[in-house]
Amino acid sequence: MNNNIDHTDPAKDMNTERGNGGETHQRAGDDTKVLTTQQGVAISDNQNSLKAGARGPTLLEDFVLREKINHFDHERIPERIVHARGSAAHGYFELTESLEEYTTAKILTETGKQTPLFTRFSTVAGNKGSKDTPRDVRGFAVKMYTEEGNWDLVGNNMPIFFIQDAIKFPDLIHAVKPEPDRGFPQAASAHDTFWDFVSLSPETMHNLIWLMSDRALPRSFSMMEGFGIHTYRLLNKEGKSTFFRYHWKPVAGVQSLIWDEAVKISGADPDYNRRDMYEAIENGMYFEWELGVQLFTEEEANEFPFDHLDATKLIPEELVPVKIIGKMVLNRNPDNFFAETEQVAFCPSHIPPGIDFSNDPLLQGRLFSYLDTQLSRLGSPNFVQIPINAPKCPFANNQQDGHMQMQVPKTRVLYEPQSLDLDRPRESPQKGFNSFHEKLDDGVKGRIRAESFADHYSQPRMFYRSQTPAEQAHIASAYAFELGKVDTAHVRTRVLSHLINIDEDLANRVANALGMELPEAAEPAAPVQDMDTSKPLQTIGRTPKSLKGRLVGILVAEGSNHEQVKKFEDAINAQGGMVKIVAPSKEVKLDDNTRIQADERVAGAPSVFFDAVVSIIMPDQAKKLAEDSSTLDWFTDAYVHCKAIAYCGATDEFILSKLPVEKDEFVTPLAKLDSFVENAKSRLWEREPKVRDLA
Ligand code: HDE
């Protein structure tokens, strides 16, 4: 909360002058920094171009103007083809358990050491200027600056992907992106082309059901899991290989938005997730994850009831437990969005010795794509020299020249082998990256899909059946919402024909919501198995009860009781929660005459921004606020979004009494501060059947 207002004049150490428009502007004094051109020439006037006469024309000679405009004209670079919208933070990784038995990679064997990293979270389909809260997969990309070279762990917040082979990726993305003739919808999968493509590609069924689940609506970047999806390898001193898949487990637990909240947040604050991360880190509430690995041998993999090289399959944690080996902490915001978040270039092919790839055909395609795409995005193979991309360990090679080359090699010798300059770098069989010496079957060359990749329904079935009833209902209504936006009847029918194979109850719910008959089931390419359900696939039921990372909105108005406000604020902060003060006006005088600045005006801060709300207002103000629809929505939404509410007498008398808000055990008077704090620690799903149709 911003308390008393400071009206200090920021211009007091500057020479201020009045411009022609009457505005005040500041000029450098003796000991302040001087504005210069790119060439370092001091600029005397940054407000007026060089003209022939007071009323123009402007002279071509004006190099200050030309340089400034020229640079401005070229400020934009192409956005990422996918994952364009993202935000990032710096932090570190610390290994807690050595994997020495399995790998030589120092990052996975040297415990206790902190390795710097940079992590970028993203949506997939939307453009750079879209919103943070669409229904979408989230990217989860970590660049670890290890002492043996950069390791980019380029993953998602879901453990599986839509397709099995990289050759289908451009089609998948073309189908989900805005339709090419009309240029919409933006950042949305709810349209005909997406559902047409996926319903013709049954391998997408598993990722689709995750996309329809609450996982696609993370409450915070700190509240989502991260997964590498593909199987990778670890290689030890003897060259022995062990397969692994990695998981980032959020310390705050997995928490999601409700769809109605996500929709409202999109309008009220398209920057919702990035603002949350920025503010939390600025307030010292760092984001934390544990790194876990599922380790398994080739022999064990051969016994799995699915193919571990198939990126549409997850490995249930009950089958191969996740071994926690370290933690990641994000504790510093970038200094500059463009220089760091925009220019960071992740490539799954950036990998240190001791780690290696598997033959997953999706991964194999990615190894080409990421390096390739940086050329059109960043413009030169020298993108690795941009500070955010450069390794922090020594690096040296004979690659030379190219656009924007920043290095000045002082040698005649930029080739290898060579005998003219003994200081130049040479290959090292001992320290260098070695690929696993894999014995390959004498297969037949061809455009083949392995038969072991044919089962597309067993795992989506396992996922659906592992969910709590509330989550199953959310999934069914997400399918109904999305298909409700699909105008082509045969596409909707085809989707239903797949859902029957996943779960008949699900198919029926969706068909009912759409008013459609169930069609014949699609013909499965492999028998559908009833796999055991898996608790880690749930979110509700696994969320820890905690205020950490959660935000409480306190509504105040003229004359509100300052002491009461403080009491709530202190109680919430004491348990790691954050508070924002919301008021009808930006500045407000409380009962003890303190004038405070509200963080938000109520009209600009709907209760979807908060995890719980408190209202401390006087009767005259409550009467006024009861006439304002944004205040009424504030309480109604908090209620229907299953949040804790603490109210004062005036709020009860003049506002709540007008609303369909039942005073259940989670809607409490201010006197029950402790109960409110407990209730604010999680979403109150118990209320959901009363406020939403979960049929
Ligand atoms: Fe990506 N993906 N991807 N992807 N991906 C990109 O690379 C691609 C896939 C992921 O914050 C692009 O630098 C292909 C799976 C993340 O900068 C591009 C295929 C997973 C990010 C690209 C996949 C991901 C990207 C666009 C199928 C999870 C954002 C810009 C073979 C394991 C990284 C860029 C960041 C970005 C290609 C599938 C994760 C075009 C061809 C599976 C987190 O190279």
Taking alpha carbons only, the member of 668, 662, 674 closest to residue 547 is 674
Q: Answer whether 226 contacts ligand 1 (Cβ < 6 A).
A: no
Residue 479: inside a domain: yes
Catalytically active residues, by annotation = 83, 156
Q: Answer whether 161 contacts ligand 1 (Cβ < 6 A).
A: yes
Q: Tell me the mean pLDDT in the region 277-305.
A: 97
User: What is the whole-number distance in angstroms between the Cα of residue 144 and the centre of ligand 1?
Assistant: 17
Residue 54: inside a domain: no
Q: N- to C-terminal Cα distance for the chain?
A: 41
Higher pLDDT, 654 or 543: 654
Measured from the Cα of 140, ligand 1's closest atom is 43
Taking alpha carbons only, the member of 687, 640, 505, 540 closest to residue 213 is 540
For a ligand 1 pocket test, name from 123, 366, 372, 375 the mutation site with the most ligand atoms within 8 angstroms of its C-beta: 366
State the pLDDT at residue 542: 81
User: What is the whole-number distance in angstroms between the Cα of residue 80 and the centre of ligand 1?
Assistant: 9
Residue 393: inside a domain: no
User: What is the whole-number distance in angstroms between the Cα of residue 160 and the centre of ligand 1?
Assistant: 13
Buried b (16+ CB within 10 A) or exposed e, 481-508: bbbeebeeeebbbbbbbbbbbbbeebbe
Q: Are strands 232-235 and 241-250 parallel, antiparallel or unpaired?
A: antiparallel
User: What is the whole-number distance in angstroms between the Cα of residue 30 and the centre of ligand 1?
Assistant: 50
Domain span holding position 477: 453-537
User: What is the whole-number distance in angstroms between the Cα of residue 153 and the centre of ligand 1?
Assistant: 11
Tell me whether residue 377 is annotated as binding: yes
Give the closest residue (by CA) to ligand 1 atom 3: 366
Q: Which of 2-16, 182-196, 521-535, 580-594 is the least confident region?
A: 2-16
| In the block, residue with structure tokens 């609450």 | 214
State the pLDDT at residue 541: 78
148 and 270 belong to one structural domain: yes
State the pLDDT at residue 9: 57
Please check the confidence at residue 384 and state whether its pLDDT lies above 60. yes
Tell me whether residue 80 is annotated as binding: yes
Identity of the amino acid at 195: W
Measured from the Cα of 156, ligand 1's closest atom is 28
Q: How far apart are CA 134 and CA 487, in angstroms?
A: 20
Residue 16: inside a domain: no
234 and 192 belong to one structural domain: yes
Neighbour-count burial of 119, counting CB atoms closer than 10 A to its CB (0-12 exposed, 13-18 middle, 19+ buried): buried
Tell me whether residue 145 is annotated as binding: no
Residue 292 pairs in a beta bridge with 247, 324
502 and 356 belong to one structural domain: no
Q: Answer whether 362 contacts ligand 1 (Cβ < 6 A).
A: yes
Residue 29: inside a domain: no
Q: End of a domain among 328, 357, 385?
A: 385
CATH number at residue 123: 2.40.180.10
| In the block, residue with structure tokens 């820890």 | 544
State the pLDDT at residue 32: 83
Q: How far apart are CA 552 and CA 567, in angstroms?
A: 13
Taking alpha carbons only, the member of 455, 242, 495, 230 closest to residue 360 is 230
Q: Tell me the mean pLDDT in the region 123-151.
A: 98
State the pLDDT at residue 15: 63
Tens of pLDDT, residue by residue over 575-613, are 999 999 999 999 999 999 999 999 999 999 999 999 999
Binned at pLDDT 50, 70 and 90, residue 693 comes out as confident
Q: Tell me the mean pLDDT in the region 545-564.
A: 97
Neighbour-count burial of 133, counting CB atoms closer than 10 A to its CB (0-12 exposed, 13-18 middle, 19+ buried): buried
Q: How far apart are CA 477 and CA 695, in angstroms?
A: 9
561 and 530 belong to one structural domain: no
> DSSP secondary structure string, 42-54?
BPS-SS---BSST
| In the block, residue with structure tokens 């779960």 | 503
Query: Which helix H or strand E contains 68, and what residues bound it?
Result: helix 63-73
3-state secondary structure of 554: strand
Tens of pLDDT, residue by residue over 226-237, are 999 999 999 999
CB 504 within 8 A of CB 519: no
Residue 281: inside a domain: yes
Measured from the Cα of 139, ligand 1's closest atom is 43
In sequence order, the 6+-apart residues with CB closer than 8 A to the CB of 212 are 135, 475, 478, 479, 482
Q: End of a domain among 537, 566, 597?
A: 537
Taking alpha carbons only, the member of 279, 286, 273 closest to residue 329 is 286
157 and 299 belong to one structural domain: yes
Please check the confidence at residue 625 and state whether its pLDDT lies above 70. yes
3-state secondary structure of 166: helix
Q: Answer whether 365 contacts ligand 1 (Cβ < 6 A).
A: yes
464 and 329 belong to one structural domain: no
Give the closest residue (by CA) to ligand 1 atom 24: 155
Q: Answer whether 573 contacts ligand 1 (Cβ < 6 A).
A: no
State the pLDDT at residue 281: 98
Q: Are strands 578-583 and 600-601 parallel, antiparallel or unpaired?
A: parallel
**Chain mean pLDDT for the chain:** 95
290 and 157 belong to one structural domain: yes
State the pLDDT at residue 321: 98
329 and 460 belong to one structural domain: no
Binned at pLDDT 50, 70 and 90, residue 23 comes out as low
Q: Tell me the mean pLDDT in the region 16-25.
A: 58
522 and 645 belong to one structural domain: no
* Structure tokens given for 656: 């709540």
The fraction of the chain above a pLDDT of 90, given in percent, is 93
Measured from the Cα of 81, ligand 1's closest atom is 26
Residue 432: inside a domain: no
Q: End of a domain among 350, 385, 420?
A: 385
CB 221 within 8 A of CB 277: yes
Per-residue H/E/C for 193-235 = HHHHHHHCCHHHHHHHHHHCCHHHCECCHHHCCEECCCCEEEE
Q: Tell me the mean pLDDT in the region 555-564.
A: 98
Q: Tell me the mean pLDDT in the region 72-87.
A: 97
User: What is the whole-number distance in angstroms between the Cα of residue 67 and the centre of ligand 1?
Assistant: 36
3-state secondary structure of 537: helix
User: What is the whole-number distance in angstroms between the Cα of residue 274 and the centre of ligand 1?
Assistant: 20
Please check the confidence at residue 90 and state whether its pLDDT lies above 90. yes
Q: Answer whether 99 contacts ligand 1 (Cβ < 6 A).
A: no
State the pLDDT at residue 569: 98
| In the block, residue with structure tokens 């990722």 | 207
Please check the confidence at residue 3 and state whether its pLDDT lies above 90. no
Please check the confidence at residue 57 and state whether its pLDDT lies above 70. yes
174 and 296 belong to one structural domain: yes
**Rounded to 10 degrees, what is the CA torsion of 485, 490, 496, 500?**
-170
Give the closest residue (by CA) to ligand 1 atom 16: 139
Residue 332 pairs in a beta bridge with 90
101 and 167 belong to one structural domain: yes
pTM for this structure? 0.96
Give the closest residue (by CA) to ligand 1 atom 44: 370
Q: How many domains does the chain have?
A: 3
Backbone angles phi, psi at 372, to 5 degrees: -60, -45
529 and 595 belong to one structural domain: no
C-alpha angle 165/167/171, rounded to 5°?
110
Tell me whether residue 412 is annotated as binding: no
Tell me whether residue 274 is annotated as binding: no
| DSSP-derived secondary structure letter, 58 | B
Identity of the amino acid at 401: D
State the pLDDT at residue 31: 76
User: What is the whole-number distance in angstroms between the Cα of residue 570 and the centre of ligand 1?
Assistant: 43
> Cβ atoms within 10 A of the Cβ of 669, count?
15
The fraction of the chain above a pLDDT of 70, given in percent, is 96
> DSSP secondary structure string, 557-615?
-TT--HHHHHHHHHHHHHTT-EEEEEESSSEEE-TTS-EEE-SEEGGG--GGG-SEEEE
Please check the confidence at residue 61 and state whether its pLDDT lies above 90. yes
Tens of pLDDT, residue by residue over 418-447, are 999 999 999 999 999 999 999 987 788 999
Tell me whether residue 27 is annotated as binding: no
Q: Answer whether 341 contacts ligand 1 (Cβ < 6 A).
A: no
Measured from the Cα of 120, ligand 1's closest atom is 11
For a ligand 1 pocket test, name from 346, 358, 374, 377 the mutation site with the most ligand atoms within 8 angstroms of its C-beta: 346
